[in-house]
Every structure is written in structure tokens, then in C-alpha cells.
Amino acid sequence: MRVLVTGGAGFIGSHVVEQLAACGADVAVLDNLSRGSLSNLHPAASLYHGDIRDEEFVRETLEQFRPRVVIHQAAQVDVQASLDDPARDAAVNIGGTLHLLEACRRTGVEKVIYASSAAVYGDPLYLPVDEEHPVRPLAGYGISKHTVEHYLEVYRGLYGLDYTVLRYANVYGPRQDATGEGGVVAVFVHRLLQGEAPCIFGDGEQTRDFVYVGDVAAANLAAVKKGSGRVLNVSTGRATSVNDLFQLLQKITGSKIKARYCPPRPGDIRHSYLSCDLARKTLGWQALTDLAAGLNLTVEWYRKERRLFMSGS
């Protein structure tokens, strides 16, 4: 099967490409390398280097590669950036995706698998958050992610372009950027390995649903043949406090460094975790990597990268 992965040199996308290649798929990557890296690019994947905001480039890429399935991971993913520059956020996440959908329908793509986010839900009214929870995004990022979900539904009805939407919880794992929009796991690991004290905002008792990137990639592969027209949470269904997360990472890294507690950030959600029941029933998928195992794999990768950096390799 021929599959195009947008953002396939990035954090989540590179893991998706890796699993597709292992299954024998013919894979290409569309990436502008603004957050992705050539070091993440799988050797079996061809690279189309450019931006999804470039309508002509997107159209020509799909005309040349002719994928049956597009897995759309490329996005502006920084919540704060979506508040600081909502127009850019919309241009990438909405405008860029529309270029992609137009190219998909004109080149006969059968299905789009779309990386959405738990950010669409906003501050939960109840826990765990299921797919029927009201959508109340708190920032432009959540708005742009949810807007695309509506476009996918319209394109399916008008043009027969199938889709599955995957709403990710807090994804962590190897290759995640510890700078910029890097997740809390990447930031904590980076700081601890550097011998620096990370900052915990508020009292650290806020909870999140941490799902390992390899499991997220597996959900994307399952959605290639299942989940037609569905919106599905990709999560563990379990809540972990930031304090517990930090203590686990202290144990794994062997660090005695204590966290600094900083003032809570305005707009931060106190508690959030997602129900994964529908994904299990629809895709036959569930997160298989428990938090301790996933964190061990993550720390091992960062240690290896740090050794390579220190040696200049």
C-alpha cells in the first residue's frame, strides 16, 4: 500500500513511518523540516521537502506519489503560539489541511487519517472524557484542530474521501523536542540529564493522560483499514499527576535533583484523561506500553542522543 505521511520527519510522524515501513508499505514523507529532522527520516521513505501551506507543492506531491492513504500529522502544535499568532496557526492547521484535502480528492486518495487533539475538549465537564464530551477549545490550536474535523466530514459526504480522526492525549516518547512546544516528559528528561531543576507549574497535582508514541503510531496503522468516518480518542484512559511523573523520572534517571515549583500558568486545565473504549471497540487498538516502561524507553533514547552530541558524532 502506498501511504503519504505529512510531518513524517517529526516526533509522532517518524514513528508512524517506521511502523508502516516495517509492515512493507510504500511510504513517502511530506515535511518542511521546521520541527522535524532528517535524522528522523526512515531510510525506506522518500522525502518531499516543502510546506503544506504551499498549495502547488502539495498538489504536485500527491500527483507524483499517488498515495492511497494520507496520514496527516503535520501541524502547528504549540498552544501558546496559537494564542500569540492565531492567523499563522489557522494558516497551517486549517489552510494547509484544505490544500491537502483538495489534492486528495483530485488524485483519488481513498482515506485520510487525521491527528487531532484532546485540546478540542477544553476544560473537562466530566472524566474520563469520551468522544461525546462537548467541544469547548480554550485556544486557537484546539479551534483549528476541531475545524478540520468538520471539513473531513464534508469531504466524505461530498466526494467520498474517507477519514478517521484520532484525538491524541499527551503523547511522549523518543524523538520528542524538549524545546519550544516539547511536552512535559521531554522537558523533564532533558533537564534531569543536564543536571538542571525542571519547573513544575502550580502544585504538581494536576493530572494528564500520557500515551506512548509507539502506541499512537499503532493506532494510526489500525485506522488505515478501520474506523471509517469515526472520531476516536487515542489515550491510556489513566490519569497521572505531574508530581508522580517527575518522581518516576527521578527514579529512572537516578537523579536527586528536586523540581522547582513555579506559579500556575493561566488557563491550564487541572485534570484531564480520556476514555479509550471507543478506539478499542472500533480499531481493536489499545495502549500496550505502561508509563514506567515508556519512560524507560524515552530516557534511554535521550541518553543515547546526549552521548552522541557530547562525542560530536
Domain spans, the chain? 2-169+213-234, 172-208+238-274+289-311
Q: Flag whether pLDDT at 265 surpasses 70.
A: yes
pLDDT-based confidence at 80, cuts 50/70/90? confident
Confidence class for position 226, pLDDT limits 50, 70, 90: very high
pLDDT in tens, 94-136: 999 999 999 999 999 999 999 999 999 999 999 999 999 999 9
Distance separating alpha carbons of residues 272 and 206, to the nearest angstrom: 8
Which class is 172-208+238-274+289-311 in CATH?
A: alpha beta
Instruction: Point out the residues that are catalytic.
Output: 141
Distances (CA, A) of 207 to 39, 64, 68, 271, 280: 33, 45, 39, 5, 23
Intrachain domains 2-169+213-234 and 172-208+238-274+289-311 with the same fold:
no
**Distance from C-alpha of 48 to C-alpha of 134, rounded to nearest angstrom:** 37
d(CA 218, CA 84): 33
The C-alpha cell that represents 28 in the structure block = 513517502
The rounded mean pLDDT for the chain is: 95
> What pLDDT sits at residue 306?
74
Quick check: 313 pLDDT over 70?
Answer: no
Q: Which CATH superfamily is domain 2-169+213-234 in?
A: NAD(P)-binding Rossmann-like Domain (3.40.50.720)
Q: Indicate if the alpha-carbon torsion angle 178, 180, 185, 191 is positive or negative.
A: positive
CA 58 to chain centre: 21
d(CA 148, CA 154): 10
Residue 259 has a pLDDT of 97
Is 70:6 a contact under the CB 8 Å cutoff?
Answer: yes
Q: What is the pLDDT of residue 309?
A: 52
Q: Give the pLDDT confidence score for residue 312 in this predicted structure.
A: 55
